[in-house]
Structure 1
Amino acid sequence: MSRFLAIDLDAQGVFVAAATVKGAATRPEQALAWVPGADHGPPPLSADTAKALGEGLRERLRAAGIAPAPALVSVGRDRVIFREVTFPPVPLSEEPAVVRFQVLKELPDNPEDLVLDYAPLPDTADGQRRATVVVIRKDIFVAVQAMCAAAGLRLAAVTPRPFAVAAGLAAAVANGEADRPPDGTDAAVATLGPGGGEFTVVRGSAVAFTRTVAAQVVVNDALLVAELKRNVAVNPGPTPVGVLYVAEPEGRVGGWGARLRRAGYTGVVKSFDPLVNAPATVPDELRGRFAAAAGLLAAKAAGAVPINFAAPRQPRAVADPKKKLMLIAGVAAGLLLVVGTAVGYLIVDSADSRLALLNEEKADLEKQLEDLKPDRERLKAADQWRTREVNYLDELYDLSDRMAADDKLRVTKVEAVAQRIEKGGKQDAQATLKLTVGVKAPEAASALLSAFEADNRAGNKFYLGSKKLGGALTTGETAYKQSFTLETKVNHRDPKDYTRLPAFTPPPRRGAYGTAAPPTAAAPPTEDELP
């Protein structure tokens, strides 16, 4: 079992289906639709846009969680040329060259600018062979290669969309996921979107006829019905179209099938959901646009993609048995000579290679160390700057824990000033912290100052030069009659060094220092004041 990404390059979007190919049970497991919407849709594929398209696809695949895998890519009907050729019976090894000659003589383009592949058709009544030949311009094929390279994907196949859709319909009919067309009739598939679509007649699992549906047609239901009727009528096959499949979920409200019936299409119309029974979750309005992507996976599961510009059929030279024996003998003799010569060189070269490798590793490590030097200097400067900061939130947190629970002291003002850095970068402390407090007794202020000093540890002086200033009496109605200023110099402390865990009951606020007196109740009205 192998995993593949099927990518359909639509004119109005890019549709990706991912699955592990495992026979008839293959179902798209993941799906991605890159269409115009909240952001810009994908640019049309060209040599100029291939790289940007691939890079955008890579980012969206990564965002959708879709892992890279070999890519199966389908291109629109308008990007390729279809030809049916008839040629006399020739050996299979020469058939690709004959088909190429038959097609290229009818085309005005330089053969070097084209890439072609073909799918055999049943022989004519008189024994002549037939084939459907599909041609793509080399610049488009190269653009597909560039897109896959930019997306980080290995290109496994490039196929026209009609062949992918035909393979998907054939698999759906075989698995019972779509109704089988009546015996003796062909099936037609319409894959439609806001920017146009395609009409394909499928005979068995082969493409019998295909045409592009223009964008100006799909916006008008009457024009669309007329276009589909005309395509059904000009179907060149010997059998008529028995049913028209529309790529969309069954019973979709306002879908293409309902629009066709409402506009007067009299043929049999049935829905064909390419993602039926698939684990991937896709909105109903976009499910039909995965017909080509799901068909590519179905074709791969069936054994081969009918048309593959990445690996087209090529002429094969017929091998001569005697030539093969002579070649084997020559290779064996040459191998013996090469082995005998190489053994001597390998012993001498091994030591030289080891020495050269070690020298390269040494030079690479030295370069890495030199390249990282600016980063080390920046980190060192950042560490120096960090050591000059004071975490005031932690300081206030610890201050609340230092205050005694007897409510003999209230802090009325907190002031912090960063210390000046001397010319040589020296700094005796990081900040000066001043607390203005009101106390009931001077001992409360001294106790708070001592609590600061008590946090100093051996080798870690967090507070320096702590002192108590003032002692003036306060005015007003308050229990905190004296005011002091506590001053200390604060050093930097890492967050892990703040180890206090405050646990206290907040004091009552009634009559507290600096609070307003409680309101006095109004006297009741007198009899004269009553109404």
Structure 2
Amino acid sequence: MPRLLAIEWDLREARIAVANTRGKDVVVEHAFVIDLGPRDPGQTFADVNVGEKVAAALAARNVGRAETLVAVGRASIELRQLTLPTCPLEELPDMVRFQAMREFTTLGEDWPLDFVHLGASEDDGFNVLAAAISPTMVGQIRETCQSAELSPSRLILRPLAAASLLRRRDGHLASDCRLMVDLLSDEADLTILVDEHVALMRTVRLASAVDPAAQSRALLGEIRRTIASAQNQLGGRRVEKVVLCGGGSEQAALKSTIDTELSLPVELFDPFSEQHVDASALATRPEHAGRFAPLLGLLVDEAAESPHAIDFLHPHKKPEPPNNARRNLLVVGTAVAAGLAIVAGVLINLWNLDKELAVQRDYTADLKKDIVAAETSQRHQGVIQEFLDNDITWLDELSDLSERLPPPEEVIVTHLNFATRIPKGAQIVVDGLAKDSEQVTDVRNSLRANGRRLLSTGEQDAPRGDEYHWQFKETVLIEPGENRRKEPAALQDTAPQETAPQDTAQTASADSTNEPESQTR
């Protein structure tokens, strides 16, 4: 299963969520926070110390290779809502960049810029939410990931990822105007959602107060300003509900303050409640679960193969022009076919003149085929004859051994190995036991019959409890053409003899335990 890793970091901490995919669902394996300690506010995203701490934390949890998704906050980008005239959708990316170059303050030609379509404007144009990030910031993020041995494949705007997770929970039932508040370590994301679309995003710094109630009072003013800005931008439409990510003491204090001061319904949204969480991850659930809403939104969207609203590594682009190669190929092919037809008409006359010559050539070709077939038959006959000359009939060899070896009262064959040799010939390896060394000599003499070569490994006194206490091993080399193929008359002459079958039975019985090791053809 592909593994996904979502990560974001700020001045105080880094947050990481790791999940495995099951089809289009995710199973969260790890969700943890890395304390980055006190850091200089002037430090950049490319602080090597962050990458080293992330790498150490991943190694401690045995998190290997994974597709990396990075979330970036609203404070790190430039964001504007743009109104564009009516134009074909394929030209919208160029129109957005052209308008952004006029309205953004620091946008350069090489800045990654992406946008999300908000719908039609009052004059039937387009309203889009455009976001741009500096190449320097992208480079710093890549350097930090590289020092952590990660390679980012997505760079997503954090509030949009959290809003996507909330929309998935509500499905298509949510059609009201909501304010989503995500409390992070040193800042808070305030996101306005209207009819499942993000209409406004703000990120504010949090006061460093220890008391959650004091922090809630300080944040209340920012919430009021966000609600007023949204009402002005949405033509008087009011925020109807506030959604707080998480369910800790900070969210509880803020919920109480909003209930009292703003008289708006407040809902607590636990991002882990709708996800499949591994048992080990559930046991180590982070204290501030609401801070992981953007990361879980990233994981769920990526697993479901849903397009991310804004991805700075894969921004919306104008579609490539249609490929006319096929049309051009058809035109060229038609022209070529017409030319070939003309040439064919000219060649018909020449073909008629060559017809008689072709008949004679066919007759010659038939004669050549007959010659080739005769030569092929002769070669096959030679191959077959060579095979018959070199073929070994192992039953004949076994019968010959039974006739030539000393009787079983003197010698017992314990193992026979019949094998062919490369490139030609064969060999028989005979293992056995004899009563004394004289019988071993008789065995060797009988195996050397007809001038066959013999490779002997000697004999030795075998520690056995019976009278067969001389052990021997002999190898008989059979050269090509020494086949002992018997004629039917010879087989009839030897049929009445009883000793040979008894010897053969003795040999087969002694070798029965080793039958899988024998090789026959």
TM-score for both structures, normalised by structure 2: 0.55
Alignment of 1:129 onto 2:120:
no
* Shift in alpha-carbon separation, 1:46–1:99, aligned structure 2, 3 A: farther
SS at match of 2:191: strand
Unaligned runs of 5+ in 2: 334-521
Identity of aligned residues (%): 26
Q: 1: distance between equivalents of 2:67 and 2:125?
A: 37
Alignment of 1:213 onto 2:211:
no
Match of 2:252 in 1: 257
Alignment of 1:65 onto 2:62:
yes
* Shift in alpha-carbon separation, 1:328–1:142, aligned structure 2, 3 A: farther
**Could you tell me which amino acid in structure 1 is paired with residue 303 of structure 2?**
A
- CA drift at 1:312: 0.9
* Shift in alpha-carbon separation, 1:41–1:275, aligned structure 2, 3 A: farther
* Shift in alpha-carbon separation, 1:324–1:111, aligned structure 2, 3 A: farther
- Give the counterpart of 1:313 among 304, 311, 316: 316
* Shift in alpha-carbon separation, 1:194–1:146, aligned structure 2, 3 A: closer
Q: 1: distance between equivalents of 2:330 and 2:94?
A: 27
Match of 2:10 in 1: 10
Unaligned runs of 5+ in 1: 331-531
8 Å Cα contact 1:248-1:285 kept in structure 2? no
SS at match of 1:26: strand
Q: 2: distance between equivalents of 1:270 and 1:187?
A: 10
8 Å Cα contact 2:192-2:198 kept in structure 1? yes
- CA drift at 1:64: 2.0
Q: 1: distance between equivalents of 2:220 and 2:330?
A: 64
**Could you tell me which amino acid in structure 1 is paired with residue 164 of structure 2?**
A
- CA drift at 1:288: 1.1
Q: Which has the higher helix share?
A: 2
* Shift in alpha-carbon separation, 1:51–1:185, aligned structure 2, 3 A: same
Match of 1:159 in 2: 156
SS at match of 1:132: strand
- Give the counterpart of 2:265 among 241, 265, 268: 268
8 Å Cα contact 1:5-1:71 kept in structure 2? yes
- CA drift at 1:309: 0.4
8 Å Cα contact 1:24-1:171 kept in structure 2? no
* Shift in alpha-carbon separation, 1:309–1:102, aligned structure 2, 3 A: same
Q: 2: distance between equivalents of 1:308 and 1:292?
A: 14
* Shift in alpha-carbon separation, 1:129–1:96, aligned structure 2, 3 A: same
- CA drift at 1:200: 0.7
8 Å Cα contact 1:17-1:28 kept in structure 2? yes
Match of 1:145 in 2: 142
* Shift in alpha-carbon separation, 1:272–1:231, aligned structure 2, 3 A: same
Q: 1: distance between equivalents of 2:47 and 2:330?
A: 44
* Shift in alpha-carbon separation, 1:4–1:104, aligned structure 2, 3 A: same
Q: 2: distance between equivalents of 1:45 and 1:15?
A: 20
Q: 2: distance between equivalents of 1:272 and 1:328?
A: 61
- Give the counterpart of 1:195 among 181, 186, 196: 186
The alignment of Structure 1 onto Structure 2 pairs a total of residues equal to 318
* Shift in alpha-carbon separation, 1:61–1:108, aligned structure 2, 3 A: same
8 Å Cα contact 1:196-1:217 kept in structure 2? no
Match of 1:288 in 2: 290
* Shift in alpha-carbon separation, 1:262–1:56, aligned structure 2, 3 A: same
- CA drift at 1:329: 8.8
**Could you tell me which amino acid in structure 1 is paired with residue 35 of structure 2?**
V
- CA drift at 1:157: 0.7
| Aligned ranges 1:444-463 → 2 under 5 Å | none
8 Å Cα contact 1:188-1:244 kept in structure 2? yes
TM-score for both structures, normalised by structure 1: 0.54
* Shift in alpha-carbon separation, 1:30–1:194, aligned structure 2, 3 A: closer
8 Å Cα contact 2:116-2:129 kept in structure 1? yes
